Chains A and B, each alone.
Chain A
Amino acid sequence: MSQRELFDLIFLPGFSTKDKASDLSGRGVGMDVVKTNIKKLNGLIEIKSEKGKGSEFILRLPLTLAIIQSLLVDVEGEVYSIPLSSVLESLKVDQRQFHLIGNREILKLRDMVLPLVRLERVFGVERREELNDFCYVVVVGTVEKRIGLVVTRLVGQQEVAIKSLGRYLADIPGIAGSTILGDGRVALIIDPVSLIEEGDGAGR
């Protein structure tokens, strides 16, 4: 048995180097839990150890798994996260520049006619602030299909870790997942693609 295989023994469930288990430890559970959880994240754990000197535990976890760059926006006091990969630009606009075509709001942006989606309306956010002339429009989409998401203000750019909402909340329209902000609050991640498709049909 090579040294590496020997070290790997401590990951086996029920394997303990202690003769007696205490209240807290010694049952051979801990390292098995560590290994299983790292495996779940597609990571690696490696042990280096030298007798009398000490041990080194090297954990390798993939970064790309669930971390994305995102633009945090404020919609009437609620914070949402828009994946930066689909954001083309953002601008501050006077709402009086909005035009109505049928019952749908649009914005003339350079040589483009940009359909607008008011996030507070799609997501049913209660209006908390005074009606403000100025708002921000975040242009999302691809070259051929773009929409403008109307938000109250921009919060900033941030790397966020995607957390699944679970099966029970999997089918919320316009929402791709969630993330936890620095202050511990949960912010929902917007799925721009589904908003573009939705924006096509319904005149929101």
Chain B
Amino acid sequence: MGTKRIRENRRNFFKSTIALIGGVITYSLIKPIEVFAQAKEEESKEDTSNLPLWGMGVDIESCVGCGKCVEACKIENNVPKEPFYFRTWVEQYTVKNDGEVKIESPNGGIGGLKQSVPSKDIFKSFMVPKLCNHCSEAPCVQACPVGATFISPDGVVLVDESYCIGCSYCIQACPYGARFMNPFTKVADKCTFCYHRITKGLDPACVEVCPTDARIFGDLRDKKSDLVKFLQKNQTQLLKPHLNTHSRVFYHGISSEVK
């Protein structure tokens, strides 16, 4: 009798163990898909076609490398002042007569970029402002394990500071070096197109201060916007197009040396 009861217990134990394992497997399999399903649902609910789709044009021929945009960005967005943290920066490219390419961006270009190569050795030189490219197929968004970085309905790649776990995977995934780990908030940080400004109808700080209008910000859906006109008038290129990130920062006048 005793052994029979134990055997029954044993059978019950196996049943519950199997149920438990089954539960774990099913949950593990369903959980990610469920999130997927939710995301789909949310997408279908929300019609984004009447919202703006933000983008930026950068005119290489206009940029003089004054670095005002970098400075304005740091002040506006409270970016740490140390020279390791930038939401935007300006690179100075110098192609020498011997074909060698020198790239510089001391302190991101704050204070203005100065030419270090003697003019007799210079074949050509130009400035390239850089920032988050706000990719529509963003590798950082794909990589974030918790979904703390996301694309807003109006096309801006943002980070939820209260949610980011600080794993740095998005920083590794960004091909443009546009992200950094903020040493104070301890979360991934990046250009937001000054989301707090653009949602109030203002331009991003870098665009606002640019003395030569080298940065053109606007709504890609608004056919009358300065950005759309800029794209219509000029031949533009994306950075690292082979990575298929479909970014929304368009460069005009870029040279093949630009990385």
Partners in one complex: no
- Give the interface of B toward A (CB within 8 A): none
